[in-house]
Structure 1
Amino acid sequence: MSTHDTSLQDTAAPEGVCYGCGSNNPHGLHIKSFWHDDGVHVMAEYMPDTKYCGWPDLVYGGLIAMLVDCHSNWTAMAYQYRMEHRDVASLPRISCVTGSLGIKFIKPTPMGVPLTLRAKVEGDVGRKSRVICEVYAGDVLTAMGDSIFVRVDTEQLAAAAHSQ
């Protein structure tokens, strides 16, 4: 499935604290994303815990949105590293934030089935990347994300957020 043994998250940001994908968040989901062998897609697998149940025996839609958001963001960042011919462990770190998050729920997503996320950059315009992310429960496509991620300087972003 992947061309690397270590996830993008663990390689680029082992100290990450994001609830969805931070390797260093003791309460987080610890999403792990990897380049697919095809060199185009970034893949992740996730098995939802029963605490993420929405309706009986169905995965909570908010969890699906979080998985799509974090995995798609890492897809955008991995793409940016590739476009600069850089390893994801190289500095300075490339960071992106969600500009818009679009989720289309196609079919109910059952509990007890491993989820596979398959994402790729569909369009790139300067600092912005459009990412399409498919969510599969087994072999069934249950949701699709169509989102925009914006490359940012995290220090400037934090300063702007705290100056309001």
Structure 2
Amino acid sequence: MSTPDTSLQDTAAPDGVCYGCGGDNPHGLQIKSFWHEDGVHVIAEHMPEAKYCGWPDLVYGGLIAMLVDCHSNWTAMAYHYREEHRDAASLPRINCVTGNLGIKFIKPTPMGVLLTLKAKVEGEVGRKTRVICEVYAGDVLTAVGDSVFVRVDTGQLAAVAHGR
């Protein structure tokens, strides 16, 4: 079960290789998502490294999009586990992929400030699930993601992608 000390990623997919959130990718960001104590939101924090600078002293928008994408996807999966009354470590693993990624940049995001991502499902949890994800630099809202994640069988998805 995901606890305040164990992320959803480490609980459900300790062998994950995603560049953004895979704990088994030594070159990736290894984002960690946790249920918030309110039971509604899923939270993650990230301190951007200098190499993710866009304009001088500002975070590259592509990094913000990646953070929103990975964290929102884990939010959708967390809600699926909860909807099915299942522990995130239970099998079969629940997987979702991005169906639509929408980002609205509200204010410039400064470098050197801890980013907090706060996400929740908007509407019903289903094959396609809408997630709203707010990005804060300190206490300042700098971006909002409004995206859709699709529950899939990743084995079938990879086979289709490779023409098998």
- Normalized against structure 2, the TM-score is what? 0.97
The residue that corresponds to 1:131 in the other structure is 131
Q: How much has 1:126 moved relative to structure 2?
A: 2.7
Q: What CA distance in whole angstroms lies between the structure 2 residues aligned with 1:125 and 1:77? A: 9
Which secondary structure does the structure 2 equivalent of 1:142 belong to?
strand
Shift in CA distance, 72/12, structure 1 to aligned 2, threshold 3 Å: same
Q: How much has 1:4 moved relative to structure 2?
A: 2.3
- Listed as ranges, the matches of 1:25-104 within 5 Å are 25-104=25-104
Gaps of 5+ in 1: none
Which secondary structure does the structure 1 equivalent of 2:123 belong to?
strand
Q: How much has 1:5 moved relative to structure 2?
A: 1.0
Gaps of 5+ in 2: none
The residue that corresponds to 2:160 in the other structure is 160
- Listed as ranges, the matches of 1:11-26 within 5 Å are 11-26=11-26
Write out per-residue CA displacement over residues 93-113 of structure 1, whole angstroms, 9 at most, x where no aligned residue: 000000000000000000000
The residue that corresponds to 2:143 in the other structure is 143
Q: How much has 1:3 moved relative to structure 2?
A: 5.0
| 1:68 partner amino acid | V
Which secondary structure does the structure 2 equivalent of 1:124 belong to?
coil
Write out per-residue CA displacement over residues 27-46 of structure 1, whole angstroms, 9 at most, x where no aligned residue: 00010000000000000000
Q: How much has 1:123 moved relative to structure 2?
A: 1.9
Indicate if the aligned counterparts of 2:19 and 2:28 stay in contact, CA closer than 8 A.
yes
Q: How many residues align?
A: 163
Which secondary structure does the structure 2 equivalent of 1:59 belong to?
coil
Write out per-residue CA displacement over residues 77-131 of structure 1, whole angstroms, 9 at most, x where no aligned residue: 0000000000000000000000000000000000000000000000226301100
